[in-house]
């Protein structure tokens, strides 16, 4: 049996430090690396990233959409990336942001959170905005297989506040998401496997994370403007469970493997030294 995700994440962060590197092979980045915008270029990009980060960084976060845009051959590259990253010892957080209901959500859970699926990752991102309860199939599958689920709570896109910061029954919608995740994580040690996604550049935090007892993925660190100082201000006492994520800030150092790895390690070490949390 695989250990619960919260325990596995805590262990790998303890050894490798607190950083998630996003793998976002968008057309502009492929071009910058001198690679064609086709499945062959995608494969070279993906395997370069595994070589650079897989043995040193705690969590690797491929963005599924950039693989899906190449059709079945792109998805095949994603499958190989997931397997190679796992073999190198990093956790794979697959950024899919799925959100659906009933049998369709169960099918997504089968695809991404169930042993035997070639797309199964260590954790995935999901959207709760069809109702937090609609995600139950993903939570159940993740719990049974020792995997994690990161639920969107506060995102940095300009359209988000109209939904996420709206107030219903005296709480922001985002706070209802936080509270529901906190209930599922209650009593789990060292931390629960239901995480949240809170953008590093959201500016302020209209939610209380004190009871979450789970990880917080903070995308937007680095090139998108999020700084260690921002994170200290934003998360306060919850900083110990925050997993900063950087994509462009690290990937722009490519395609040289040594340069990529050096930039990732520099970023990781800056986080550790500035926050005091390994």
* Whole-number pLDDT of residue 102: 94
d(CA 238, CA 240): 5
* Whole-number pLDDT of residue 43: 98
d(CA 61, CA 199): 15
User: pLDDT of 51-99, one tens digit each?
Assistant: 999 999 999 999 999 999 999 999 999 999 999 999 999 999 999 999 9
d(CA 93, CA 23): 10
Phi, psi of 173 (to 5 degrees): -60, -40
Q: Which residues of the chain have pLDDT under 70?
A: 222-226, 277-278
* Whole-number pLDDT of residue 108: 98
* Whole-number pLDDT of residue 224: 62
Q: How far apart are the first and last CA of the chain?
A: 27
Tokens (6 digits) for 108: 């997504």
Quick one: which of 212, 273, 232, 224 has its CA closest to 250? 224
d(CA 199, CA 265): 21
Task: Determine which one of 61, 73, 97, 144 is catalytic.
Answer: 97
Q: Which CATH number fits the domain that encloses residue 84?
A: 3.20.20.70
User: pLDDT of 240-264, one tens digit each?
Assistant: 899 999 999 999 999 999 999 999 9
Percentage helix, strand, coil, to 5, in the chain? 50, 15, 35
* Structural domain boundaries enclosing 218: 5-275
d(CA 261, CA 131): 39
Give the burial class of 271: count Cβ atoms within 10 A of its Cβ; 0-12 exposed, 13-18 middle, 19 or more buried.
Answer: buried
Tokens (6 digits) for 7: 């325990």
d(CA 94, CA 82): 9
Phi, psi of 9 (to 5 degrees): -65, -45
**b/e per residue 104-132 (b: at least 16 CB within 10 A):** ebbebbebbbbeebebbbbbbbbbbeeeb
Q: Would you call 61 a catalytic residue per the annotation?
A: no
Helix (H, G, I), strand (E, B) or coil at 4: coil
* Whole-number pLDDT of residue 211: 95
Cis peptide leading into 66, omega within 30 of 0?
Answer: no
* Whole-number pLDDT of residue 277: 58
* Whole-number pLDDT of residue 230: 76
- pTM of the model as a whole: 0.96
In the chain, how many domains are there? 1
CB atoms under 10 Å from CB of 147, counted, come to 26
């Amino acid at each position: 049996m695989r250990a619960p995700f919260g325990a596995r994440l805590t262990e790998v962060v303890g050894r490798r430090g607190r950083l998630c590197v996003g793998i976002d092979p968008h057309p502009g980045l492929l071009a910058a690396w001198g690679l064609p915008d086709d499945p062959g270029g995608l494969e070279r990009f993906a395997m370069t990233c595994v070589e650079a980060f897989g043995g040193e960084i705690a969590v690797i976060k491929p963005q599924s959409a950039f693989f899906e845009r190449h059709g079945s051959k792109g998805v095949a590259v994603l499958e190989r990336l997931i397997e190679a990253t796992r073999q190198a010892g990093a956790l794979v957080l697959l950024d899919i942001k799925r959100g659906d209901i009933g049998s369709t959500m169960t099918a997504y859970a089968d695809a991404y959170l169930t042993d035997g699926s070639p797309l199964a990752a260590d954790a995935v991102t999901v959207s709760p905005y069809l109702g937090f309860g609609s995600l139950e199939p993903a939570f159940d599958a993740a719990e049974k297989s020792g995997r994690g689920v990161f639920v969107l709570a506060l995102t940095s896109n300009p359209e988000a506040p109209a939904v996420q910061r709206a107030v219903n029954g005296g709480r922001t919608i985002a706070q209802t998401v936080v509270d529901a995740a906190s209930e599922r994580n209650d009593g789990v040690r060292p931390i629960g496997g239901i995480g949240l996604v809170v953008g590093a550049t959201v500016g302020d935090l209209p939610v209380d994370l004190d009871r979450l007892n789970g990880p917080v993925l903070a995308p937007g660190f680095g090139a998108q403007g999020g700084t260690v100082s921002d994170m200290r201000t934003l998360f306060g006492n919850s900083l110990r469970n925050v997993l900063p994520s950087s994509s462009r800030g690290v990937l722009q150092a490519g395609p040289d493997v040594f340069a990529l790895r050096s930039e990732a390690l520099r970023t990781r070490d800056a986080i550790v030294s500035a926050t005091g949390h390994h």
